[in-house]
Chain A
Amino acid sequence: MFNVFKLWITKDIVLEKVPDIKAIDVDSLLKDLSRIKKLDTNTRTALSRSLIIRHLDTGSCNAEEAELIALSNPFYDISRFGIEFTASPRHADVLTVTGPVTRHLKIAMEKTYNAMPKPKIVVAIGDGACNGSIYEKTYACLGRVDQFLPVDIYIPGDPPSPEQILKGLLTCKVLLAQKEKKNG
């Protein structure tokens, strides 16, 4: 892996093969590609557009954050899909939320959501955000995210793998295009 980088930097070419990708099933990947060709133009256009994400931790156990960070590593390289994380909610198309909503973060969560321009999409990532998981209602834990925000896409998992998150985010692109069309 290091040699790949070195060659890439010094000679501007890549001679070596990419690292072990056994975990990805190549056949189904090819099938997926052929499926993409069969997609209608609207969806294909939607997939080719960029997606800007504001991430919000409302009380997760930080496993979901670790997987979101992993999406930017050279294995998944999320930016090749035109997906970027942004610092300001005002630039964001999508709000990804992880963890059950805690008492102390409820106001910050609402403020972040309200600061986003329309159309906006909310994605709940992980069991904590989707259904509350093992986190019961207590004096400090208020419950799952869709009690407070309109959630469009759920990506359950404990935590969901980077592939699953990626799949969910690509779906966001299509949903966003649909929402834009609807709003004119």
Chain B
Amino acid sequence: MDQKSNIQLDNLIEKVKELLVIQDNYKILDSNHLEILIDKDLLAKTAELLVNSSDLNASLITLTAVDSRKTERAYTLYTVFSINKLNCLLSLKTLIEEKNPSYPAISKVIPSLNWHEREIHDLFGIIPEGIELPPLVLHRDWHPGKNFPMRKDFPKDSQIPITEHELEFQGPHGEGFHQIAVGPIHAGIIEPGHLRFCALGEEIHKFDAQLFYTHKGIEKMAEGKTPEECLEISEHICGMCSFSHSVAYCLALETLANTAIPERAVFIRMVFLELERLASHLADLMAISSSGGFAFASAYSATLREVIMRINHELTGSRFLRGLNIIGGLQKDIPDKSFNNLTVKLEKFNTDFKDLEKLILNSDSLLDRLELTGLLPKEKAKSLGLVGPPARASEIDTDIRRDNSYLAYKRYKLNVPIYDTYDALARTQVRIDEVYESVKLIKNIIEDLPSGKISVEINSYLKLTPSVGFIESPKGELVHWVMLNNDGKILRFHVRSASYMNWMGVVQATMGNNIVPDGPLVNKSFNLCYACVDR
């Protein structure tokens, strides 16, 4: 496995050499991760070159900054690409001097990085030149001055006074236009966020959102913690996808420890990742049908979701699969008998789910709400960098379980549902198809379940080396970026969730020729986690 990856890495180096001038400025971080040192003036151009190269087909997965003033006397920016074809990662490392913390913005050429750059500006005070920088993560009552919370000289628990302030939204003005403010506290049991519709009569002309209400500074919390302590934090980023988060984090740390976890642990992790996907997709279907006014299908999805949650509880003792993962494998083994039971239960689940599918797809009133609502054409979705089910509903053929091999997904043939109708119905259908795929996948994985150990001991980690955990969570691609300091504690922990990428998709889809009552439905057809976005 390692040797094969190395060949692919050599391949990558050759291909990159064709595109860029690289001599000694590259470094091999691990068996499938290449790092290139790039000057800040060339950063945007290089990123554009890599993304547009048809040979590499690189996809930009995250951009993060590190306050490395102690070691490098400069801030460091890491732009991470995934080269799915070669199953490799490519990082561009850029040093940004302390005196003049600015660089030409990448989002001018790659718009999907807009939020990343604004976040780095808010938290680190590094200025991306050439784009507008309204506050994103920190709200308007935070007056930066010298208060950039992610800088190392900003004490962990120091706080800035809170003042009540007006939200600012741009939108058309004039006779007939009115703004509808929603949130941050919503009517139902959902997470907080402020949405603003600007409507002319019923029609939505402009839609915008103020998020990051549940921003807790988790990335700051993690700093200085041991890798094991940070695992618990990673599990508590989001409830809907807590297992995905912990797997992504563990993968990053296992790469740093240069360890392969036992086969059995790999397979059991895959079973639970898929169970989490089932639970999450059923919650999505529940939300979609209730927003469409179809209470019966909503209750039925809720019932099926509860079935999965109880299976989770029975197998692991936690309905949200917490406490199962450890760095190096699993906390406890689960007997084969329980897995055989699971197969039987899933058989019944599958027949029940067929009923639900019929219910949703044969109900004219619901279909009428879903069809042609919240259109998000392929080109737009691509430029926004959409991931996960909403991307597949916009005809983007992506699923990193198939494209990039982590755990043992490469062994199984995965049918990735792609729809070219771009509407809320397509997003519903993608989820329905994926539920069937996941059930099939779990059955196959259980058949192949190897026996043996479930964890390995880990002695040491690489220091001051970036590592990436990159997996397909229920909502889409999830990236965990970790770097340890010289004492083996967390220096920087960065999370880019799928919902973070998809939020602009919601905004764009809502604005596309919809009426105000469709707003919630479009939102629910994405059903993003706020906790994942805000952190």
**Is the pair A73, B237 in contact by a Cβ cutoff of 8 Å?**
no
Q: How far is the CA of A107 from the CA of B167 in the complex (A)?
A: 13
A47 interfacial contact with B, CB 8 Å: no
Contact present for B221 and A136 (CB under 8 Å)? yes
Interface pick from B68-76, B149-157, B258-266, B505-513: B149-157
Assembly CA distance A99 to B162 (angstroms): 19
| Separation of A129 and B309 alpha carbons in the complex (Å) | 23
Interface code B341-353, partner A: CB below 8 Å = 1, 0 otherwise?
Answer: 0000000000010
In residues 401-437 of chain B, which contact A (Cβ within 8 Å)?
none
Please report the total number of A residues contacting B with Cβ < 8 Å: 51
> Judging by beta carbons under 8 Å apart, are B239 and A103 in contact?
no
Chain A CB within 8 A of B217 CB: yes
Establish whether residues A62 and B531, one from each chain, have CB atoms under 8 Å apart when the complex forms.
yes
- Give the CA-CA distance A103 to B137 in the complex, in Å: 12
CA distance A61 to B154 in the complex (A): 25
Contacts of B302 in A (CB 8 A): 69-70, 72-74
Bound CA span A104–B240, Å: 22
**Stretch from B40-48, B81-89, B104-112, B180-188 at the A interface:** B180-188
Closest-by-CB residue of A relative to B187 is A87
- The size of the chain B interface, using a CB distance under 8 A, is 58
CB pair B355–A62 under 8 Å, yes or no, is: no
> With A62-B191, A73-B299, A102-B214 as given contacts, are A141 and B221 in contact (CB-CB < 8 Å)?
yes
The verdict on B277 contacting chain A, using a C-beta distance below 8 Å, is no
A156 at the interface (CB under 8 A from B): no
**Bound CA span A136–B283, Å:** 30
A141 touches B531 (CB 8 A): no
Q: Is B215 an interface residue (CB 8 A)?
A: yes
Question: Within the complex, what minimum Cβ distance (angstroms) separates B312 from chain A?
Answer: 12
A63–B242 CB distance below 8 A:
yes
Given contacts A62-B530, A63-B320, contact A138 B192 (CB under 8 A): no
Residues from chain B with a CB closer than 8 A to the CB of A2 are 300, 352, 355-356
Interface string of A49-74 (1 = CB under 8 A from B): 00000011111111111111110111
For residues 73 through 101 of chain B, which have their beta carbon under 8 Å from a beta carbon of chain A? none
Q: Which B residues touch A142, using CB under 8 A?
A: 159
Give the docked Cα–Cα distance between A154 and B91 (Å): 46
A27 and B254 CA atoms in complex are apart in Å by 47
With A62-B530, A108-B184 as contacts: A57 and B191 at CB distance below 8 Å: yes
- Indicate if the CB atoms of B159 and A103 lie closer than 8 Å: yes
Give complex CA distance A143, B122 in Å.
22
Question: In the complex, A159 Cα to B531 Cα: how many Å?
Answer: 15
* With A135-B236, A139-B154, A140-B215: A1-B303 Cβ-Cβ less than 8 Å: yes
Which residues between 204 and 219 of chain B lie within 8 Å of chain A, taking CB atoms?
212-218
Q: Please determine whether A108 and B214 come into contact, CB atoms closer than 8 angstroms.
A: no
Interface centre among B214, B242, B302, B306 (most CB of A within 10 A): B214
When chains A and B are docked, how far (Å) is the Cα of A63 from the Cα of B318?
A: 11
- Scoring B236, B300, B530 by chain A CB atoms within 10 A of each residue's CB, the highest score goes to B236
Partner of B139, one of A65, A104, A138: A104
Supposing A66-B240, A140-B216 touch, asked if A56 and B185 sit within 8 A by C-beta, the answer is: yes
Given A102-B216, A108-B185, is A66 in contact with B283 using a C-beta cutoff of 8 Å? yes
Q: Is the CB of B217 within 8 A of A106?
A: no
**Contacts A2-B352, A59-B216; A75 near B239 (Cβ below 8 A):** no
Q: Are A136 and B157 in contact (CB-based, < 8 A)? A: yes
B58 at the interface (CB under 8 A from A): no
A26 located at the interface, meaning its Cβ lies under 8 Å from any Cβ of chain B in the complex: no
A135 touches B216 (CB 8 A): yes
Contacts of B20 in A (CB 8 A): none
Q: Check: B446 CB closer than 8 A to any chain A CB.
A: no
Decide: A63 and B239 in contact? CB cutoff 8 A.
yes
Q: Contact flags (1/0) for B303-327 with A, using CB distance below 8 Å?
A: 1011001100100001110100000
Chain A residues, Cβ within 8 Å of B156: 136-138
Closest to A106 in B: B162
Q: Which residues does chain A contribute within 8 Å of B238, judged by CB atoms?
A: 61-62
Residue of A nearest to B318 (CB): A158
Across the two chains, which residue of chain B brings its CB closest to A1?
B303
Let me know if A105 is at the binding interface, CB within 8 A. yes
- Take A72-B302, A134-B233, A136-B157 as given contacts and tell me if A65 and B191 are in contact as well, using a CB distance cutoff of 8 Å: yes
Q: Taking the nearest CB of chain A, how far is it from the CB of B308, in angstroms?
A: 11
Q: Is residue B494 within 8 Å, beta carbon to beta carbon, of the partner chain?
A: no
Closest Cβ of chain A: how far from B283's Cβ, in Å?
7
Closest to A69 in B: B189
Tell whether, in the assembled complex, residue A73 and residue B305 are in contact, meaning their CB atoms are under 8 Å apart: yes
What is the distance, in angstroms, from B218's C-beta to the closest C-beta of chain A?
8
10 nearest A-B residue pairs (beta carbon): A63-B239, A87-B187, A73-B302, A138-B217, A140-B217, A141-B216, A139-B149, A2-B355, A59-B214, A62-B239
Sample of 11 more A-B contacts, CB < 8 Å, known A61-B236, A137-B156? A2-B356, A59-B214, A61-B242, A62-B530, A66-B283, A70-B302, A74-B303, A104-B184, A108-B192, A128-B236, A133-B236
25 contacts between A and B (CB under 8 A): A2-B355, A2-B356, A58-B214, A60-B239, A61-B238, A62-B191, A62-B239, A65-B190, A65-B239, A66-B239, A66-B240, A66-B283, A68-B189, A73-B303, A85-B188, A85-B189, A102-B216, A136-B156, A138-B217, A139-B220, A141-B221, A142-B159, A158-B322, A159-B239, A161-B313
